[in-house]
Structure 1
Amino acid sequence: MSEVADFWSWVAQEKAKLDEVLRDREEPPTLIDWLEREITEAREAAFSLKIRGENGAEYWTGYADALEDVLKAIQRREVRA
C-alpha cells in the first residue's frame, strides 16, 4: 500500500509542477499580432539596409508587402479556414 501512496504522491507533485509552468507561460501571439510584428521587423530591416547601402532591402520590402497583403485579406475576411 505504501508504494501506491508514494506513486500518487509523486503524481500530485508532478502535476503541481506542470500547473505552475503552464500558469507562468506567456500566451502565444495571435496570427494578427505575429503578422504585425513581422511586418514591422521587415520594414525596419529594409530601412536599415537602405541606409547602410547594403543589398537585401528589396527582399525585406517584398516580404513586408506580402505579409501586409495577407493581413489585409484577413481583415477583409477574404480568407477561409
Structure 2
Amino acid sequence: MAYFTWKETGLSSDCASLAAMAARFEEAAALMRRMASEGFQLERHSDGQHITHPDPNVFEAYGFINEESPVRQLTLLN
C-alpha cells in the first residue's frame, strides 16, 4: 500500500483522523489570522521564525512566553 510519513508533530500529534487534523489546522489558521489582524508579525531569524508584537501587553494577553534573552527584556529606569 502506498503511503507517506507525516513529520509535523507539534500541532497534530494527538489527532486520530484526517478530519481531526484538518480541524486543528483550521483552528490554528483562524488564530494566526486574528493575531495578524491585531498586529503580530512573523520575523525570520537564523534560529527560526519568531512571532513578535510591538506591544508587550498584547503579547502577554495571549499568554505567550517571551523567549527574548533576560538582558533584552529589562526595562531601564532612570
TM-score w.r.t. the length of structure 1 is: 0.29
- Structure showing greater radius of gyration is 1
TM-score w.r.t. the length of structure 2 is: 0.30
Structure that is richer in strand per residue: 2
Structure that is richer in helix per residue: 1
Of the two structures, which has the highest relative contact order with CA contacts closer than 8 Å and spacing of 6 or more? 1
